[in-house]
């Protein structure tokens, strides 16, 4: 975003005043689906049709209302969600355009948290693609009402029937077509509405005229109409009885019953059109108002206050409550928080508390966002979406509640951070700003995980994939002027001993006047994995004076941290100091620290050293057909299968332990192995002995690090 305040809204072009809508006339509609299916273009068409924009932008030109960030325009894809409200026939429809690529799923997740209906945009050319399947499964888990817009019917090789068949076989019986296309490919010019038995034929400006259904379609239309009516009336016993008695249900009755099925997420209407030619676009908007669930049609939201749970309904009465579903980091105006009002009405200058951070937040300027255009408002009713700038301590997923009522909505699940990259600031200035800038980026992007390891001395960014991480680095440079180089993530190898040994550590130095002298005899023995370090003082008879024994221990500990024989951190060793010598004048803490260090190194080499490698617990969830491939691949990565479990939806969860060094790029490999249908989590499990033939490779990574 460019510098601005909510007052100089003129910078943002059209200044639209929007009237206030009551909760039951609000529709929060998220556009979801695979990348390239036409979500952003459809949003643009809806905005234009509703008169919210004067000119239809194009994804290719970077001129759409939703793809406003340079990182989106450069790639021609949506990366973050965009809220795009339109006013349509007495309704305020808050469209939320979302990304369609797996790397940016966290914004889809955020949008699903506030949506009351998900419209799946499916290309009639490409059909049902993987990201549509992934989001459908997520919507089913969250019980979100769904419908489908079959898009691109104007394109060559578009096929409505084939797409419909695919929708049925992928998503099941609830799929209910409400329309049939009139004409094909370049000849696609309208839709036949199965509820009203009428045809809508479109002019180039996106308006339509109502006509009788064309003859060549009439027979099919009647048949599908009857199927649809039967499909709808079964949901209502009374209507069903009257239908069987020969009564023809009215369109209003059918719509009413259909709306119930949609709200219950048992019926998933399918409509069709083209976001480019505008066919079917206004019909979609009509339908969102007519059968799309209002916030009041959805189940109440579960909130927590300490140990107690409660439910919140989007009532005008009750306490003001808001949920922050998205944060945008702006280097000039600070952060912008997008929120949904869960209950009551929120007004300018309201003071609410963020129970998570404990901060009291005053909501200075409230505004409605449309893409990046801001329109100031004075109040926001329950169920509606709006934004506020400059909250002091509120992050994505936080709740804003009245003072004294510390309720919170369940936060987002932490993202898996499946792919890592290490970053190195280029200059001192970059270094100074790196940590704080990353923190601000993380506030807008909950899928970004930042780790600083003092074992490998790396700052590691973890994200959802290569494109996600590339975008993070671009934003870091663009928004905060911080430039970094990248390198592979290093694995924190460690070393330990394979047997017992003893050695003398002797430090003696005679330079000019007063010298250094200390001798410590050490006995080392391996400890169980994960035990760390144990120091045993076995000195008797004052062979080393009491006050110098801690120095021996310190010398050993520093050597372990600095790196042992191979240069890796040393662990799981017990050291006994059982004898020594001192000099009444030359001995000092310094000389015994050195003696401890020297004796320890000597004892380690005598004992024999093994390198340890971190092992991860990996849980891979894939459709059952990929299970064999996944297990075979894990074997080739020195992994061990721990078990498999059926997790529902035809998916299997495979648990394996596998050396961490073998799965650094697993996010990329699993995606290509499963066509994007697999997902996984990985966490550190334990350390295990690195096979001897791999030690040189491990040391090479360390050498590269210190180069």
Ligand X SMILES: Nc1nc2c(ncn2[C@@H]2O[C@H](COP(=O)(O)OP(=O)(O)O)[C@@H](O)[C@H]2O)c(=O)[nH]1
Shortest CB 154 distance to ligand X, Å: 5
Q: Nearer to ligand X by C-beta: 60 or 309?
A: 60
- Kindly state the DSSP code that residue 315 receives in the 8-state scheme: -
Q: Nearer to ligand X by C-beta: 152 or 475?
A: 152
Residues 104 and 665: their CA atoms lie apart, in Å, by 18
Could you tell me where the beta strands, DSSP code E, fall in 441-550?
A: 449-453, 458-463, 484-487, 494-497, 501-509, 516-526, 533-537
- The phi-psi region of residue 457 (left if phi > 0; otherwise alpha if psi is between -120 and 50; otherwise beta) is left
Residues 528 and 530: their CA atoms lie apart, in Å, by 6
Q: Nearer to ligand X by C-beta: 35 or 261?
A: 35
- Site residues (CB under 6 A) for ligand X, limited to 62-101: 77-78, 100
DSSP string spanning 471-488?
Answer: HHHHHHHHHH---EEEEP
Q: Nearer to Mg ion by C-beta: 40 or 68?
A: 40
Q: Nearer to ligand X by C-beta: 263 or 281?
A: 281
x-or-dash pattern for Mg ion, window 32-51, by CB under 5 A? Answer: -------xx-----------
Number of residues lying near Mg ion (CB under 5 A): 3
Residues 268 and 288: their CA atoms lie apart, in Å, by 13
- Site residues (CB under 6 A) for ligand X, limited to 109-128: 121
Residues 363 and 347: their CA atoms lie apart, in Å, by 8
- Report what 388 binds from ligand X, Mg ion, none; CB cut-off 5-8 Å by kind: none
Shortest CB 282 distance to Mg ion, Å: 21
39 binds ligand X (CB under 6 A): yes
Q: Which of 27, 30, 35, 292 binds ligand X (CB under 6 A)?
A: 35
- Report what 49 binds from Mg ion, ligand X, none; CB cut-off 5-8 Å by kind: none
Q: Which of 80, 131, 163, 274 binds ligand X (CB under 6 A)?
A: 274
Strand partners, 520: 505, 580
| Cβ atoms of residues 621 and 677 within 8 Å | no
- Report what 383 binds from ligand X, Mg ion, none; CB cut-off 5-8 Å by kind: none
Candidates 29-37, 318-326, 422-430, 591-599 — which segment interacts with ligand X by CB under 6 A? 29-37
Which residue minimizes CB distance to ligand X?
38
78 binds Mg ion (CB under 5 A): yes
278 binds ligand X (CB under 6 A): no
Shortest CB 151 distance to ligand X, Å: 5
Q: Which of 115, 276, 489, 620 binds ligand X (CB under 6 A)?
A: 276
Candidates 73-81, 158-166, 557-565, 576-584 — which segment interacts with Mg ion by CB under 5 A? 73-81
492 binds ligand X (CB under 6 A): no
- The phi-psi region of residue 675 (left if phi > 0; otherwise alpha if psi is between -120 and 50; otherwise beta) is left
38 binds ligand X (CB under 6 A): yes
Candidates 28-36, 301-309, 313-321, 654-662 — which segment interacts with ligand X by CB under 6 A? 28-36
| Cβ atoms of residues 364 and 410 within 8 Å | no
Residues 622 and 649: their CA atoms lie apart, in Å, by 10
| Cβ atoms of residues 152 and 125 within 8 Å | yes
Q: Nearer to Mg ion by C-beta: 40 or 559?
A: 40
Supply φ then ψ for residue 688, to 5 degrees: -140, 160
CA 569 to each of CA 436, 509, 534: distance values in angstroms, whole numbers, following the listed order: 29, 28, 15
Shortest CB 149 distance to Mg ion, Å: 14
Q: Nearer to ligand X by C-beta: 60 or 241?
A: 60
What strands, in cross-sheet order, belong to the sheet with 449-453? 449-453, 458-463, 419-425, 484-487
591 binds ligand X (CB under 6 A): no
Candidates 31-39, 79-87, 265-273, 394-402 — which segment interacts with Mg ion by CB under 5 A? 31-39
Candidates 176-184, 271-279, 435-443, 543-551 — which segment interacts with ligand X by CB under 6 A? 271-279
Residues 282 and 207: their CA atoms lie apart, in Å, by 8
- Report what 213 binds from ligand X, Mg ion, none; CB cut-off 5-8 Å by kind: none
User: Helix axis angle, 627-636 relative to 666-674, nearest 10°?
Assistant: 150
Q: Nearer to ligand X by C-beta: 31 or 366?
A: 31
- Report what 274 binds from ligand X, Mg ion, none; CB cut-off 5-8 Å by kind: ligand X
Residue 433 token pair: 């700003």
Q: Nearer to Mg ion by C-beta: 78 or 458?
A: 78
Q: Nearer to ligand X by C-beta: 87 or 126?
A: 126
Residues 481 and 27: their CA atoms lie apart, in Å, by 39
x-or-dash pattern for ligand X, window 131-160, by CB under 6 A? Answer: --------------------xx-xx-----
Q: Nearer to ligand X by C-beta: 276 or 520?
A: 276
Shortest CB 124 distance to ligand X, Å: 8
Angle at 403 between CA 399 and CA 404, to 5 degrees: 105
- Report what 155 binds from ligand X, Mg ion, none; CB cut-off 5-8 Å by kind: ligand X
Q: Is the dihedral of CA 310, 116, 343, 369 positive or negative?
A: positive
Query: Can you give the three-state secondary structure of 205-265, one letter per residue?
Result: CCCEEEECCCHHHHHHHHHHHHHHHHHHHCCCHHHHHHHHCCCCCCHHHHHHHHHHHHHCC
Count Cα atoms within 13 angstroms, Cβ side, for 470: 10
37 binds ligand X (CB under 6 A): yes
Q: Nearer to ligand X by C-beta: 204 or 648?
A: 204
Instruction: Please state, as a whole number, how many other Cβ atoms lie within 10 Å of the Cβ of residue 316.
Output: 12
Q: How many residues are recorded in the chain?
A: 707
275 binds ligand X (CB under 6 A): yes
Interface with ligand X (CB under 6 A): 33, 35-41, 59-60, 77-78, 100, 121, 151-152, 154-155, 274-276
Interface with Mg ion (CB under 5 A): 39-40, 78
């Amino acid at each position: 975003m460019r510098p601005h305040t909510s007052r100089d809204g003129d910078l943002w072009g059209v200044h639209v005043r929007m009237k206030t809508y009551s909760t039951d006339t609000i529709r929060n509609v998220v556009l979801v689906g695979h990348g390239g299916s036409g979500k952003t273009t459809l949003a643009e068409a809806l905005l234009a049709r509703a008169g919210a924009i004067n000119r239809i932008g194009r994804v290719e030109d970077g001129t759409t209302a939703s793809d406003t960030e340079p990182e989106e325009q450069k790639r021609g894809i949506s990366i973050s969600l965009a809220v795009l409200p339109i006013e349509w026939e007495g309704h305020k429809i808050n469209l939320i355009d979302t990304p369609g690529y797996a790397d940016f799923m966290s914004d889809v997740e955020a949008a699903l948290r506030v949506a009351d209906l998900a419209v799946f945009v499916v290309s009639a050319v490409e059909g049902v693609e993987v990201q549509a399947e992934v989001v459908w499964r997520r919507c089913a888990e969250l019980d979100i009402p769904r419908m489908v817009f079959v898009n691109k019917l104007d394109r060559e090789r578009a096929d409505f029937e084939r797409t419909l068949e695919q929708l049925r076989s992928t998503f099941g019986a609830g799929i209910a077509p409400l329309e049939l296309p009139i004409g094909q490919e370049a000849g696609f010019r309208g839709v036949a509405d199965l509820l009203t038995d009428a045809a809508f034929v479109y002019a180039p400006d996106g308006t339509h005229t109502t006509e009788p259904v064309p003859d060549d379609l009439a027979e099919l239309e009647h048949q599908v109409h009857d199927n649809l009516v039967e499909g709808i009336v079964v949901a209502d016993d009374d209507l069903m009885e009257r239908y069987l008695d020969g009564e023809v249900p009215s369109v209003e009755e059918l719509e009413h019953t259909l709306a119930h099925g949609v709200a219950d997420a048992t019926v998933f209407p399918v409509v069709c059109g083209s976001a480019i030619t505008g066919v079917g676009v206004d019909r979609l908007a009509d339908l969102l108002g007519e059968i799309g669930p209002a916030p009041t049609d959805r189940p109440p939201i579960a909130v927590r206050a300490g140990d107690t749970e409660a439910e919140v309904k989007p009532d005008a009465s009750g306490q003001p409550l808001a949920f922050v579903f998205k944060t945008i980091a702006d280097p000039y105006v600070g952060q912008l928080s997008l929120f949904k009002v869960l209950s009551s009405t929120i007004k300018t200058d309201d003071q609410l508390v963020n129970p998570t951070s404990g901060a009291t937040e005053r909501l200075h300027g409230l505004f409605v966002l449309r893409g990046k255009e801001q329109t100031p408002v004075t109040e926001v009713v329950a169920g509606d979406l709006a934004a506020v700038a400059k909250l002091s301590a509120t992050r994505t997923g936080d709740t804003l509640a009245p003072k004294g009522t510390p309720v919170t909505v369940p936060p987002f699940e932490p993202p898996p951070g499946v792919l890592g990259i290490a970053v190195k600031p280029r200059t001192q200035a970059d270094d100074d700003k790196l940590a704080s800038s990353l923190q601000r980026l993380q506030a807008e992007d909950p899928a970004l995980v930042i780790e600083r390891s003092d074992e490998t001395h790396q700052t590691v960014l973890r994200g959802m994939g290569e494109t996600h991480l590339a975008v993070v680095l671009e934003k870091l440079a663009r928004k905060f002027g911080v430039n970094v180089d990248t390198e592979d993530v290093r694995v924190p190898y460690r070393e330990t001993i394979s047997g017992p040994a003893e050695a003398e550590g002797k430090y003696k130095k005679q330079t000019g006047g007063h010298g250094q002298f200390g001798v410590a005899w050490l006995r080392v023995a391996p400890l169980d994995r994960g035990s760390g370090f144990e120091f045993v003082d076995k000195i008797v008879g004052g062979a080393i004076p009491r006050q110098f024994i801690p120095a021996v221990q310190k010398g050993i500990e520093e050597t372990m941290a600095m790196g042992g024989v191979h240069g890796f951190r040393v662990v799981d060793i017990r050291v006994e100091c059982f004898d020594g010598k001192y000099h009444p004048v030359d001995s000092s803490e310094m000389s015994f620290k050195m003696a401890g260090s020297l004796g320890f190194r000597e004892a380690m080499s005598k004992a024999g050293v093994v390198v340890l490698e971190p092992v991860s617990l990996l849980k891979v969830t894939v459709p059952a057909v990929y299970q064999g491939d996944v297990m075979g691949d894990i074997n080739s990565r020195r992994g061990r299968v721990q078990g498999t479990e059926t997790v529902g939806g035809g998916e299997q969860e495979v648990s394996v332990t596998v050396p961490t060094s073998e799965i650094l790029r697993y996010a990329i490999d699993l995606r290509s192995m499963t066509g994007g249908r697999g997902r996984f989590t990985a966490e550190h499990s334990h350390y295990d002995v690195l096979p001897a033939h791999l030690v040189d490779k491990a040391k090479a990574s360390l050498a590269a690090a210190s180069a």
